[in-house]
């Protein structure tokens, strides 16, 4: 079952996120415990501050402080300063200790999501939107930092402080002061929760609009050349601006709803503080309370409502963070359709024999791609699969790599059903030169080394030589250190394909797959590469997907596909003698080649 990001704006807080984060906190439980001890010390210090102020004021008020000794006065002042310092110092120590926990959780979860995305099947990645996905991960990881730090060190401590202040007021000054404080806190909390739930839809709308605009920007920049080819700069700008317009509207609603929330919270706090100060003032005038008590109550209200006001902000941000983290964890809920069976074993290569046994495949019930296909690639032979576009040639490669599972039949390597072996061992045994070569924005040298990251420089240069890429690389200003640009856009199609060939050669696998491997090369380069491939593939099983039949005439076996079915098998000579589908394709391509020849006998 595939998971989908939660998009219901009226959905409640998904507290399961905290359960998912718990193991990352438990890993550093010692640091968490020490941080909580510092938290308690910090709060204990802040709760003593109003009492020191009260005693100072009451002592100074008595006969203008004549009865107060110098040492006592100095002691109270120093105690007040120490309490202030302890509050800040323990809070800083707490944050420093807990920072390691937060950063490690962000790292672990970010890596987990990254690994999971790479474990998903090809079908998921064909339908994803890279820009929006990247933004969801970024917001989710940032949300984890906010949630862990502020939930543990702001919401919980503030609730503790509320209970402590209400208890102090109740036992020292009676139920009136405690009741006003409790009613204000309950009203503030209830209003904040209700209003935040209401405005969460606007936060989510803004996030979705942000992801959409980011996706459109990334897609447009990735396809920069296509935009230029079709002169669609203004079209892309209008489309991006439309997405930004939706983001602007969502942000406007978000801002107005925030004004409503902040205004309501400010009203509750102002009413509570006014009531408390007024009640305390009348009690001082009647003699029921001292001036020190007035200062203590006022100080407690300031200390309580400052974090309570911040608690409103924290709750709003935690609500938004939970929504962002929820989207990221929903990515982890996506299940791959292609998975290793429970008892999967590593593929063992003996001779490298490949066998397609009555294989059928369809993307859905109404779209059959391959039907009842059977053929074998004997060890050390070169087998070509040819046919018109859409015949199912490249799909065979995806099935061999298990990017998809066959609908019926089996694919065997040395007698082992690939469905029963691990995907890692299967793909480690197969080297490929794909039709569409996409390179990383790194140096040519490192792009080739990607075929085997632990390869030595000498092995990389050897692969460069075998791929006939040496002269090109050495003539570059920075040699093998030249960066290829995003997706290899600084290289021509032929250059990218030769880099891909060198990468496959470096992987040095018993099975080689070439999916239109020379389609972007000129005739001279193509012949040189084909000669090199023939040399290195001498002791390997090679599966070649080809459109140009001239590149596979030396194949030991040629399999002709038509609409997903094998219509002919044999070598070049045998198939021409049959005068069937292969012969038709051959004569058509030869006629096209003759038509393109220029007067001096060179091909155009």
Residue 78 covered by a domain = yes
Q: How far lies 492's CA from each of 184, 445, 451, in Å?
A: 70, 16, 20
Domain residues for the domain of 111 are 16-333
Collapsing DSSP to helix, strand or coil, 513 comes out as strand
Mutual orientation of helices 156-173 and 175-222 as an angle, nearest 10°? 170
Q: How far lies 64's CA from each of 71, 503, 514, in Å?
A: 16, 89, 97
Residue 570: what pLDDT?
Answer: 92
Reading the block at residue 143, the tokens are: 């949300």
Residue 437: what pLDDT?
Answer: 78
Reading the block at residue 498, the tokens are: 């030769």
Residue 440 covered by a domain = no
Q: Is the pTM here over 0.75, yes or no? A: no
d(CA 292, CA 172): 13
Residue 124 covered by a domain = yes
Residue 174 covered by a domain = yes
Residue 409: what pLDDT?
Answer: 93
CB 404 within 8 A of CB 361: yes
d(CA 229, CA 543): 35
Mean pLDDT by runs of 10 across the 604 residues of the chain is 41 62 77 84 85 81 57 82 88 83 82 83 71 76 78 74 85 88 86 78 81 84 81 87 88 85 85 88 86 85 74 69 79 82 90 92 82 91 86 87 90 93 91 82 88 90 85 85 79 80 86 78 67 72 86 89 89 91 88 66 44
Q: What is the CATH number of the domain that holds 55?
A: 1.20.1560.10
Residue 247 covered by a domain = yes
How many residues are recorded in the chain?
A: 604
d(CA 251, CA 399): 46
Residue 394: what pLDDT?
Answer: 84
Residue 154 covered by a domain = yes
Reading the block at residue 83, the tokens are: 């309490």
Residue 574: what pLDDT?
Answer: 92
Q: Is 487 left (phi over 0), alpha (psi -120 to 50) or beta?
A: left
- The candidate with the shortest Cα–Cα distance to 114, out of 138, 132, 131, is 138
Cβ count within 10 A of residue 284: 17
Q: How many domains does the chain have?
A: 1
d(CA 369, CA 403): 15
CB 13 within 8 A of CB 6: no
Cβ count within 10 A of residue 214: 22
Residue 243 covered by a domain = yes
**φ/ψ of residue 183, rounded to 5:** -60, -40
Residue 537 covered by a domain = no
């Amino acid at each position: 079952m595939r998971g989908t990001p939660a998009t219901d704006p009226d959905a409640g807080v998904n507290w399961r996120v905290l359960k998912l984060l718990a193991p990352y906190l438990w890993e550093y439980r010692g640091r968490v415990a020490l941080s909580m001890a510092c938290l308690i010390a910090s709060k204990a210090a802040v709760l003593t501050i109003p009492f020191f102020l009260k005693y100072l004021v009451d002592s100074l008020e008595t006969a203008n402080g004549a009865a107060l000794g110098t040492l006592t006065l100095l002691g109270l002042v120093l105690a007040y300063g120490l309490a202030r310092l302890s509050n800040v110092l323990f809070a800083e120590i707490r944050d420093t200790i807990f920072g390691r926990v937060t950063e490690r959780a962000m790292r672990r979860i970010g890596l987990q999501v990254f690994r999971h995305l790479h474990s998903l099947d090809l079908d998921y990645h064909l339908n994803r939107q890279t820009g929006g996905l990247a933004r969801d991960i970024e917001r989710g990881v940032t949300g984890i930092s906010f949630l862990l730090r502020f939930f543990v060190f702001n919401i919980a401590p503030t609730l503790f402080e509320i209970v402590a202040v209400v208890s102090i007021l109740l036992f020292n000054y009676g139920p009136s002061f405690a009741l006003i404080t409790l009613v204000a806190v309950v009203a503030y909390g209830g209003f904040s929760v209700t209003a935040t739930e209401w405005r969460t839809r606007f936060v989510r709308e803004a996030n979705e609009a942000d992801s959409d605009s980011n996706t459109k920007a990334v897609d447009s920049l990735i396809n920069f050349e296509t935009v230029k080819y079709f002169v669609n700069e203004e079209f892309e700008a209008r489309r991006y601006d439309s997405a930004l317009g939706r983001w602007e509207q969502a942000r406007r609603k978000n801002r107005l709803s925030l004004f409503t929330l902040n205004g309501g919270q400010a009203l509750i706090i102002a009413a509570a503080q006014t009531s408390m100060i007024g009640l305390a003032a009348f009690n001082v005038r009647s003699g029921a309370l001292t001036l020190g008590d007035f200062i203590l109550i006022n100080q407690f209200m300031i200390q309580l409502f400052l974090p309570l006001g911040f608690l409103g902000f924290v709750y709003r941000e935690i609500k938004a963070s939970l929504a962002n983290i929820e989207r990221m964890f929903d990515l982890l809920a996506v299940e791959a359709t292609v998975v290793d069976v429970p008892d999967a074993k590593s593929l063992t290569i003996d001779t490298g024999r490949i066998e397609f046994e009555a294989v059928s495949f369809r993307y859905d019930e109404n779209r059959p791609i391959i039907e009842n296909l059977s053929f074998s690639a004997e060890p050390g032979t070169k087998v070509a699969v040819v046919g018109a576009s859409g015949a199912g040639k490249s799909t065979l490669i995806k099935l061999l790599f298990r990017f998809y599972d066959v609908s019926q039949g089996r694919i065997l390597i040395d007698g082992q059903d690939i469905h029963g072996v691990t995907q890692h061992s299967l793909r480690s045994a197969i080297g490929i030169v794909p039709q569409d070569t996409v390179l990383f924005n790194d140096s040519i040298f490192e792009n080739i080394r990607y075929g085997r990251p632990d390869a030595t420089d000498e092995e990389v240069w050897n692969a460069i030589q075998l791929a006939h890429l040496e002269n090109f690389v050495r003539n570059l200003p920075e040699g093998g250190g030249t960066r290829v640009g995003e997706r290899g856009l600084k290289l021509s199609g032929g250059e990218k394909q030769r880099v891909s060939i060198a990468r496959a050669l470096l992987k040095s696998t018993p099975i080689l797959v070439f999916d239109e491997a020379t389609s972007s090369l000129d005739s001279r380069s193509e012949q040189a590469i084909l000669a090199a491939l023939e040399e290195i593939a001498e002791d390997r099983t090679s599966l070649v997907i080809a459109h140009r039949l001239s590149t596979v005439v030396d194949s030991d076996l040629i399999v002709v596909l038509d609409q997903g079915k094998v219509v002919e098998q044999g070598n070049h000579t045998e198939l021409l003698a049959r005068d069937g589908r292969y012969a038709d394709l051959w004569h058509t391509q030869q006629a096209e080649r003759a038509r393109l020849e220029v007067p001096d006998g060179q091909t155009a």
